[in-house]
Amino acid sequence: MAILITGGAGYIGSHAVLELLRGGFDVVVVDNLSNSHEAAIHRVAELAGKPVPFHKVDIRDRDALDRVFGTTPIEAVMHFAGLKAVGESVGQPLRYYDNNIFGTIVLLEVMKKHGVRTLVFSSSATVYGDPASVPITEDFPLSAVNPYGRSKLFIEDMLRDLCRAEPEWQIALLRYFNPSGADPSGRIGEDPNGIPNNLVPYIAQVAVGRLPELAVYGSDYPTRDGTGVRDYIHVVDLVLGHIKALEKLATRPGLVTYNLGTGRGYSVLEMVEAFGRAAGRPIKHRLAPRRPGDAAECWSDASRAERELGWRATRGLDEMCRDVWRWQSNNPKGYA
Ligand code: NAD
Ligand code: WQD
């Protein structure tokens, strides 16, 4: 029996496929390659020393998805496929709702048809909206401040409704904080399309000379150095949390929700410093106005996952920066 990975060619999905293979699981990957490269799949296969069954399929294509379930015995799904750029979602809300929400509905219906009722879903700390305080626990109030966030929140609501109506489902909602890092091999990593929106890939591209300098968005926040504070979690720790969640689901039906974060925050300037150390060169940056919609601080209380899953992030900031730098310096243009 295999684990189906939707979005398995993407940044987090490719790392999940690799760790599952290393853990002895069988996998099958579907991805429409709208924000990724098939090369990632080949590299994962190379690193794992095993072939990776891959189908270029859009999860909204019911017949194609049905064929995947019809030809491979699947026991559970890790659902990473989705669009994730906040700014883009503001300009193209319908595209986000169609891809993320409708895509998930089709996936759930096809799963149900084939008797597969175990799902690990990629949610996001974005469902906490603008948090009133930090650290953030799973029972903080939920809200959405942009269409991307609304798509995640709606999918969470839909999955809660589904578990209430059909208690045999086993669903984990995993709320990621700020995933970063890369497999230590330097063969796979984050390869954003165009100019990165997120801090770490932006810094990495400055370090490698693809971008001239980083704009630090806001230096007057009520934080220790005035810049925004976030909970950066190494992608390998993150995907190991998914495997723990899958094991947890095997022991009980119903829906569980976990923050996947480190439980501590770093400021933008601390990230610039740390990356400079890893790359052995200073990261050129300038202070700039705040970016609209940004919270001053967003970091997790990740103790529920530690208590109930026996999982916690073990990879620190320097290791994360070193791994990103190995990926970026070995692949200055990503997979291209
Ligand atoms: P990514 O864009 O690298 O990976 C997503 C993958 O899904 C891509 O390979 C893309 O081609 C594929 N995809 C998108 N729509 C599809 C569709 N309709 N059918 C088939 N494949 C489709 O993004 P990522 O950073 O790896 O994120 C994975 C998941 O984690 C997403 O759902 C994202 O919202 C969520 N998440 C990411 C972050 C983050 O900062 N990276 C934070 C919180 C949550
Ligand atoms: C981090 C910090 C910026 C870029 C986003 C999504 C969230 C989740 C993770 C998916 C902030 C500052 C950034 C730059 C900067 N994704 N920054 N200069 O905003 O915490 O979260 O990604 O679910 O939903 O909103 O991450 O990496 O964009 O920003 O100063 O060029 O870096 O202001 O303080 P964010 P980020």
Strand order of the β-sheet with 266-267 is 266-267, 229-230, 297-298
- What is the structure's pLDDT at 307? 98
Substitution site in 5, 6, 15, 35 for ligand 1 pocket (most atoms within 8 Å of beta carbon): 35
Instruction: Report which ligand 1 atom has the smallest distance to the Cα of 191.
Output: 3
What is the distance between the alpha carbons of residues 120 and 231, in angstroms, rounded to a whole number? 21
Q: Which residues of the chain have pLDDT under 70?
A: none
- What is the structure's pLDDT at 252? 86
Q: How far is the CA of 229 from the centre of ligand 2 (A)?
A: 10
What is the distance between the alpha carbons of residues 328 and 331, in angstroms, rounded to a whole number? 5
Amino acid letter for position 110? V
- What is the structure's pLDDT at 126? 98
Q: Which of 134, 133, 131, 151 is nearest to 142 (CA)?
A: 131
Residue 230 Cβ < 6 Å to ligand 2:
yes
Substitution site in 90, 199, 232 for ligand 2 pocket (most atoms within 8 Å of beta carbon): 199
- What is the structure's pLDDT at 253? 85
CB environment 51-70: b (16+ within 10 A), e (fewer): ebbbbebbbbeeebbeebbe
Q: How far is the CA of 62 from the centre of ligand 2 (A)?
A: 34
* Inter-residue contact 5 to 35 (CB < 8 Å): no
User: What residues are annotated to the active site?
Assistant: 148
Rounded to two decimals, the pTM is 0.99
What is the distance between the alpha carbons of residues 84 and 86, in angstroms, rounded to a whole number? 6
Residue 12 Cβ < 6 Å to ligand 1:
yes
Q: How far is the CA of 86 from the centre of ligand 2 (A)?
A: 9
What is the distance between the alpha carbons of residues 225 and 197, in angstroms, rounded to a whole number? 22
Cis peptide leading into residue 135 (ω within 30°): yes
